[in-house]
């Protein structure tokens, strides 16, 4: 058995993993309830006896795309605001506020009866849920040395996939047995359990009574240059190439992940090319496969980057080679929209989602690798905001593209985006050098 008194930081990762899992459960419930006939009828103002026509279904999908856009607008604003908040009030307090907001919004989903009401609640949910990743990345920066950060990020980021797996396994059954409203109530209340655990367990390592001196020294082994203690403004942070390298990785690739989350249930439910179509009764198994594989990708590629650094590679080489491997793994996904075999489609999508999670585990380390700890949440918030903005742009057109041209154009976008993003990142920051005091002074306040 490992000496847990010298490895308390891994308990923090476990806590972040569970928080991320609940975060994704709450946001994903809608993706599965949206294929429930009763939900669609109520949102379109139909009674139980009025069947939806094909025209009604197409209209619903376009309107759902707009509601998805509303969530992403809120998520973009929430990233910027919560990143700023967390750097100023601290990780513990800032994350607590976010959990409360998103949990209340999750429960409120159960009490709406129109698409307009749904859009308002999803806006609130987006604001609250945006606090998860700035909090988690700042926590990793506080609790881990650089050589372990991508692995730690990969571990907590695996909670995104577990959240989707739990949602795929649980929500169809809950919806069929108890109705779609109960699904939102049951999952929304889970956030308050995470809140209790967070308040009880989390402190900075230098303040935590269960962290030994040896572990604290290990955590703090990376000696940062003497960086000013004043908080860095958003405008000042935008003056660094390192910030824009992070922004590009988020802006271009986050929308692809959002696309998977929002539209894969509909792809399997309505794709004209597949030899089988899935509904609430059998959609869970493919998602179980896809996101278990994704979990493996998050952990594997996070570990791989950390392993390269332990072998003596620079952080620049380790991160970029790992991200290149991830980008190449996404490339074949365009064929998922052309194959008639549901098994081939599941395999291609599984590979792509696993690679995306590996990409995310590495891109998230940019904030903590390149900036002082006092700015990590703000940088993560800025990048997350641009990632959500990219998601907004894709969500705004995805419904119309889907109805007019099918899924092939969307999968082609997914297959090429990561390689283009990596090339731009390399141009912006060829060496991934951390921000120095000299650079800070040259930018000014």
Regarding whether 169 and 286 lie in a shared domain, the answer is no
Task: For the chain, list residues with pLDDT below 70.
Answer: 1-6, 47-50, 52, 223-232, 271-284, 436-445
User: Which of 220, 252, 270 is the last residue in one of the domains?
Assistant: 220
Regarding whether 371 and 277 lie in a shared domain, the answer is yes
Q: Is 315:369 a contact under the CB 8 Å cutoff? A: yes
Q: What is the 3-state secondary structure (H, E, C) of 72-119?
A: HHHHHHHHHHHHHHHHHHCHHHHHHHHHHHHHHHHHHHHHCCCHHHHH
**Helix, coil or strand: residue 169:** helix
Q: Is 94:85 a contact under the CB 8 Å cutoff? A: yes
Q: Flag whether 154 is in a domain.
A: yes
pLDDT at 403: 77
- Torsion of Cα atoms, 142 then 291 then 162 then 415, to 10°: 40
Output the DSSP codes for 351-414. Answer: HHHHHHHHHHHHHTHHHHHHS-GGGHHHHHHHHHHHHHHHHHHHHHHHHHHHHHH-SHHHHHHH
pLDDT at 352: 94
CATH number of the domain enclosing 408: 1.20.1250.20
Q: What angle do CA 379, 383, 389 make, to 5 degrees?
A: 145
pTM: 0.74
**How many Cα neighbours within 13 Å face the side chain of 361?**
38
Regarding whether 161 and 282 lie in a shared domain, the answer is no
Q: Flag whether 260 is in a domain.
A: yes
pLDDT at 1: 33
Regarding whether 369 and 330 lie in a shared domain, the answer is yes
pLDDT at 106: 92
Q: Flag whether 216 is in a domain.
A: yes
Regarding whether 243 and 203 lie in a shared domain, the answer is no
Regarding whether 114 and 239 lie in a shared domain, the answer is no
Q: Flag whether 99 is in a domain.
A: yes
Q: Flag whether 1 is in a domain.
A: no
Q: Flag whether 292 is in a domain.
A: yes
Residue 97 buriedness (CB in 10 A; 0-12 / 13-18 / 19+): middle
Regarding whether 254 and 145 lie in a shared domain, the answer is no
Closest CA to 361 of 214, 253, 235: 253
- Nearest-angstrom CA–CA distance, 243 and 235: 11
- Nearest-angstrom CA–CA distance, 113 and 184: 13
Q: What angle do CA 232, 237, 243 make, to 5 degrees?
A: 140
Regarding whether 296 and 213 lie in a shared domain, the answer is no
Q: Flag whether 432 is in a domain.
A: yes
Q: Flag whether 338 is in a domain.
A: yes
- Nearest-angstrom CA–CA distance, 133 and 83: 9
> Could you report the per-residue pLDDT of 51-93, keeping only the tens digit for each?
767 777 777 777 877 888 888 889 888 888 888 888 888 889 9
Residue 339 buriedness (CB in 10 A; 0-12 / 13-18 / 19+): middle
Regarding whether 249 and 109 lie in a shared domain, the answer is no
Domain extent at residue 260:
234-442
Closest CA to 403 of 119, 45, 60: 60
User: Which of 180, 196, 220 is the last residue in one of the domains?
Assistant: 220
The tally of domains found in the chain comes to 2
User: Which of 190, 220, 250 is the last residue in one of the domains?
Assistant: 220
**Helix, coil or strand: residue 62:** helix
- Nearest-angstrom CA–CA distance, 176 and 184: 13
Regarding whether 121 and 49 lie in a shared domain, the answer is yes
pLDDT at 3: 39
Regarding whether 244 and 214 lie in a shared domain, the answer is no
pLDDT at 21: 94
Regarding whether 134 and 58 lie in a shared domain, the answer is yes
């Amino acid at each position: 058995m490992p000496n847990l008194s010298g490895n308390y930081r891994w308990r923090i990762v476990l806590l972040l993993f569970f928080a991320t899992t609940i975060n994704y459960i709450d946001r994903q419930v809608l993706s599965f309830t949206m294929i429930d006939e009763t939900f669609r009828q109520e949102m379109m103002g139909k009674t139980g006896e009025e069947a939806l026509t094909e025209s009604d279904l197409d209209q619903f999908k376009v309107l759902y795309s707009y509601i998805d856009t509303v969530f992403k607008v809120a998520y973009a604003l929430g990233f910027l605001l919560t990143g700023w908040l967390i750097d100023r009030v601290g990780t513990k307090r800032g994350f607590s506020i976010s959990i409360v907001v998103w949990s209340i919004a999750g429960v409120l989903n159960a009490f709406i009866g129109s698409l307009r009401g749904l859009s308002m609640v999803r806006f609130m949910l987006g604001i609250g849920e945006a606090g998860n990743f700035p909090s988690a990345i700042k926590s990793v920066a506080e609790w881990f040395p650089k050589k372990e950060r991508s692995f730690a990020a990969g571990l907590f980021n695996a909670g995104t996939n577990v959240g989707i797996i739990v949602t795929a396994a649980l929500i169809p059954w809950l919806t069929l047995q108890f109705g779609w409203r109960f699904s939102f109530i049951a999952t929304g209340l889970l956030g308050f359990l995470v809140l209790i655990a967070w308040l009880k367990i989390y402190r900075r390592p230098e303040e935590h009574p269960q962290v030994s001196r040896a572990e604290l020294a290990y955590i703090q082994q990376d000696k940062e240059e003497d960086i000013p203690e004043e908080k860095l403004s958003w405008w000042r942070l935008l003056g660094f190439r390192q910030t824009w390298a992070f922004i590009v990785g988020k802006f271009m690739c986050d929308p692809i992940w959002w696309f998977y989350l929002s539209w894969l249930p509909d792809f399997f439910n309505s794709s004209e090319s597949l030899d089988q179509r899935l509904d609430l009764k059998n959609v869970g198994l493919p998602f179980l496969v896809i996101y278990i594989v994704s979990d493996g990708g998050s952990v594997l590629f996070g570990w791989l980057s950390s392993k390269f650094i332990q072998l003596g590679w620079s952080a620049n080489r380790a991160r970029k080679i790992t991200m290149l491997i991830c980008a190449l793994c996404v490339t074949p996904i365009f064929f998922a929209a052309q194959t008639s075999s549901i098994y081939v489609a599941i395999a291609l999508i599984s590979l792509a989602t696993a690679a995306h999670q590996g990409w995310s585990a590495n891109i998230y380390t940019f904030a903590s690798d390149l900036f002082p700890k006092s700015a990590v949440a703000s940088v993560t918030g800025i990048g997350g905001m641009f990632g959500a903005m990219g998601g907004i742009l894709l969500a705004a057109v995805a419904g119309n593209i889907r109805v007019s041209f099918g899924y092939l154009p969307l999968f082609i976008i997914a297959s090429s985006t990561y390689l283009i993003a990596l090339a731009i990142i390399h141009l912006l920051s060829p060496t991934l050098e951390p921000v120095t005091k000299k650079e800070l002074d040259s930018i000014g306040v």
